[in-house]
């Protein structure tokens, strides 16, 4: 009897547990989280087409416009001058830069001049007797002949008889021999062709200089040139005399220059053309690195935007009724950060800053002062 009662209680407990579980399952409610639609804020600007100047960037190192490489055409010992022959020494125009010992050669020149003087003296009696009409001018020439000065030009010979007489006595040969020696004697002294600075000195005083040996380099510090490489696309847009803005990266100083020459040959390797910009400033030094901004042309009915706003090279995002849309544009010039585009209608609300995850048809909110105040910006 006891076992029967326990069995019945067990069956009732199972049945009660079944219906209780069913009731609990029926009363359970499922809660779904509410999804809130996020509308992102975008920065925009209203398009107003205008004239955009296209500026071509270029760079290069300064070189002196006037420079002379100093070479010796004669041989001799380099003598000390008024200034030491060292890099950085300044010379005025006409001042002696290099003086080579010419004592031995100068004696040879004097010997040749003495021989010419003797020849002239020897013909004077014959001129007095045979050609009295030309004697006076040759006597005047002989009296003005100074051995310590450069040989003056011979008197002008007006008749053939006079030419034959003077030439037959060997005077013309001696005269041109003397002039040749004097010309070579002048090469023992190298003077400054313009005021400037010695930038390279390869010899020192007391050195034996040989003919053809390079002695140094001399530059004018008043005018410099900047050689820049410009894309061939803009080769026909550059003009000689055009003003150029130059800037230095280390000092942030700006300079004014102008285009003075444009090379007619295109570099086949880089497909660029060389342009030369002249610039004057007392603070400039040879070898200084400068950046140039060349005004190539002006593009009408265009705008300039950031390159990261241009999609697929010809599309940009615009906002229409708080929804993003894509329109096609025509790029005309690219820089590393900017791009000039055309065919964007005036009054179009264009996205001015990139938006991560943006797509056509995306609902957005245009940023304005009221939006910023409500967000505590």
pTM: 0.65
pLDDT at 33: 56
State the CATH number of the domain containing residue 348: 2.40.420.20
State the CATH number of the domain containing residue 90: 2.40.50.100
Dump pLDDT digits (tens) for 348-360. 899 988 888 888 8
CB of 277 closer than 8 Å to CB of 226:
yes
Has residue 292 been placed in a domain? Answer: yes
pLDDT at 253: 85
Q: 264 and 148 in one domain?
A: no
Domain span holding position 150: 111-170
Has residue 10 been placed in a domain? Answer: no
At 375, is the pLDDT very low, low, confident or very high (cuts 50, 70, 90)? very low
Nearest one of 91, 39, 100, 36 to 68, comparing CA atoms: 91
Q: Regarding predicted confidence, which is higher, 157 or 16?
A: 157
Domain boundary among 251, 268, 297: 297
CB of 52 closer than 8 Å to CB of 331:
no
Q: 267 and 253 in one domain?
A: yes
Q: Which are the contacts of 63, defined by CB distance < 8 A and separation ≥ 6?
A: 224, 225, 226, 227, 286, 287
Percent of the chain with pLDDT over 70: 92
pLDDT at 278: 94
Q: 320 and 212 in one domain?
A: no
Has residue 366 been placed in a domain? Answer: yes
Has residue 13 been placed in a domain? Answer: no
* Count of domains for the chain: 4
At 37, is the pLDDT very low, low, confident or very high (cuts 50, 70, 90)? low
């Amino acid at each position: 009897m006891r076992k029967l009662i326990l069995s019945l209680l067990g069956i009732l407990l199972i049945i009660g547990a079944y219906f209780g579980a069913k009731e609990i399952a029926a009363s359970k409610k499922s809660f779904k989280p509410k999804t809130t639609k996020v509308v992102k804020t975008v920065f925009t600007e209203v398009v107003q087409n205008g004239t955009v100047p296209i500026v071509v960037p270029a760079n290069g190192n300064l070189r002196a416009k006037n420079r002379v490489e100093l070479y010796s055409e004669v041989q001799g010992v380099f003598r000390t001058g008024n200034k030491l022959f060292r890099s950085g020494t300044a010379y005025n125009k006409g001042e002696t830069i290099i003086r080579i010992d010419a004592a031995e050669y100068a004696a040879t020149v004097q010997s040749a001049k003495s021989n010419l003087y003797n020849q002239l003296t020897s013909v004077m009696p014959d001129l007095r007797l045979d050609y009295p009409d030309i004697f006076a001018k040759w006597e005047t020439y002989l009296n003005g002949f100074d051995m310590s000065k450069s040989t003056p030009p011979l008197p002008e010979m007006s008749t053939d008889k006079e030419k034959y007489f003077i030439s037959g006595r060997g005077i013309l040969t001696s005269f041109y021999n003397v002039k040749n020696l004097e010309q070579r004697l002048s090469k023992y002294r190298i003077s400054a062709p313009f005021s400037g600075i010695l930038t390279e000195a390869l010899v020192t005083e007391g050195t034996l200089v040989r003919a053809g040996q390079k002695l140094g380099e001399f530059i004018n510090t008043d005018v410099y040139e900047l050689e820049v490489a410009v894309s061939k696309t803009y080769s026909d847009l550059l003009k000689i005399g055009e003003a150029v803005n130059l800037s230095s990266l280390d000092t942030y100083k700006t300079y004014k220059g102008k285009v003075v020459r444009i090379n007619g040959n295109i570099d086949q390797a880089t497909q660029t053309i060389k342009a030369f910009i002249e610039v004057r400033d007392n603070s400039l030094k040879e070898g200084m690195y400068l950046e140039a901004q060349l005004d190539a042309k002006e593009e009408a009915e265009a705008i300039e935007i950031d390159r990261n706003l241009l999609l697929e090279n010809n599309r940009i995002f615009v906002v229409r009724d708080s929804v993003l849309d894509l329109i096609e544009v025509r790029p005309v010039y690219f820089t590393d950060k900017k791009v000039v585009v055309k065919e964007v209608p005036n009054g179009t609300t264009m996205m001015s800053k990139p938006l991560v995850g943006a797509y056509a048809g995306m609902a957005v909110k245009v940023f304005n002062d009221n939006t910023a105040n409500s967000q505590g910006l």
